[in-house]
């Protein structure tokens, strides 16, 4: 019995020493990075399951806030967001490589992505306003309405071709009348969206009927599901 306890204590000391040694090596390597430390997360955030409230990031940048900034400030903010996104991707890949349980506060990636999308929309607004003032045309590429083989009509960006459509015989355009296959596809698609809307209304009604006691004691909650998205909540939009 005494030998067994001694063995356990020895193994625990080896494990503790190895973890401390690994952390010291990582810390030394982190300090040697110099200015490249900006492309990695802070050392205090390593190995934690969730960031502390003081270290958690805020919300994403709103369009109303970005409209008040100059082009120079938007350019600097884009570089900061790009560097933050690359840092988060690097740290997430490091967690996956090391087999960690989870990347702490992964919603940071979504907030950076939303901020970059809002910033791109503001830049597009300013470019369109400038080109409409100077040339009377929008800055975004020209689009035309086309119909796919499944019967869906959508706007597609115009592309350059080596030969005109009179030579190639290929031209995409909007079809006023669909063939039998495309017509049946559109009919089934509308039926699918119809039942999805009914299911969405039912899910909203069930959510509104829930009370605090129902959630606490799991009474009157849904037992069967028709789709995997219903398990995670309202996923249809």
For residue 51, what are its two tokens?
């960031």
**What pLDDT is attached to residue 24?**
37
Separation of CA 109 from chain center: 7
**What pLDDT is attached to residue 19?**
41
Radius of gyration of the chain (CA): 28
Compute the Cα dihedral for 188, 190, 193, 195 and give only its sign. negative
**What pLDDT is attached to residue 145?**
87
pTM: 0.54
Q: Which residue has the higher pLDDT, 11 or 63?
A: 63
Identify the burial level of 100 via C-beta atoms within 10 angstroms of its C-beta, where 0-12 means exposed, 13-18 middle and 19 or more buried: middle
Closest CA to 61 of 74, 47, 49, 48: 74
- Residue 14 pLDDT level (bands cut at 50, 70, 90): very low
pLDDT digits (tens, 9 = 90+) for 134-189: 888 888 888 888 888 888 888 888 888 888 888 888 777 777 778 888 889 999 99
pLDDT digits (tens, 9 = 90+) for 21-56: 344 345 566 666 677 777 777 767 676 667 766 667
One DSSP character per residue, 169-214 reads -------SS--HHHHHHHHHHHHHHHHHHHHHHHHHHHHHH--HHH
Closest CA to 171 of 143, 142, 147, 140: 147
Q: Is 120 within 8 Å of 113 (Cβ atoms)?
A: no
User: Mean pLDDT of all residues in the chain?
Assistant: 76
Closest CA to 59 of 121, 125, 113: 113
């Amino acid at each position: 019995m005494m030998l067994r306890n001694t063995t356990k204590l020895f193994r625990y000391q080896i494990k503790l020493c190895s973890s401390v040694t690994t952390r010291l090596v990582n810390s030394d390597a982190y300090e040697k990075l110099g200015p490249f430390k900006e492309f990695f997360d802070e050392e205090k955030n390593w190995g934690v399951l969730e960031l502390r409230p003081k270290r958690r990031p805020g919300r994403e940048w709103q369009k109303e806030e970005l409209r008040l900034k100059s082009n120079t400030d938007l350019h600097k903010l884009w570089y900061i967001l790009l560097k933050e996104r690359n840092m988060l991707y690097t740290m997430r890949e490091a967690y996956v490589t090391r087999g960690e349980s989870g990347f702490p506060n992964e919603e940071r990636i979504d907030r950076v992505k939303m901020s970059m999308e809002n910033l791109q929309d503001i830049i597009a607004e300013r470019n369109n306003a400038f080109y409409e003032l100077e040339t009377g045309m929008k800055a975004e590429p020209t689009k035309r309405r086309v119909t796919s083989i499944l019967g869906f009509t959508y706007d597609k960006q115009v592309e350059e071709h080596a030969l005109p459509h009179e030579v190639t015989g290929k031209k995409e355009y909007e079809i006023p009348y669909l063939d039998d296959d495309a017509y049946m596809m559109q009919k089934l698609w509308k039926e699918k969206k119809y039942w999805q809307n009914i299911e969405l209304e039912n899910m909203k009604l069930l959510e509104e009927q829930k009370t605090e006691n129902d959630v606490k004691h799991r009474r009157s909650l849904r037992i069967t599901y028709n789709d995997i998205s219903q398990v995670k909540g309202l996923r249809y939009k």
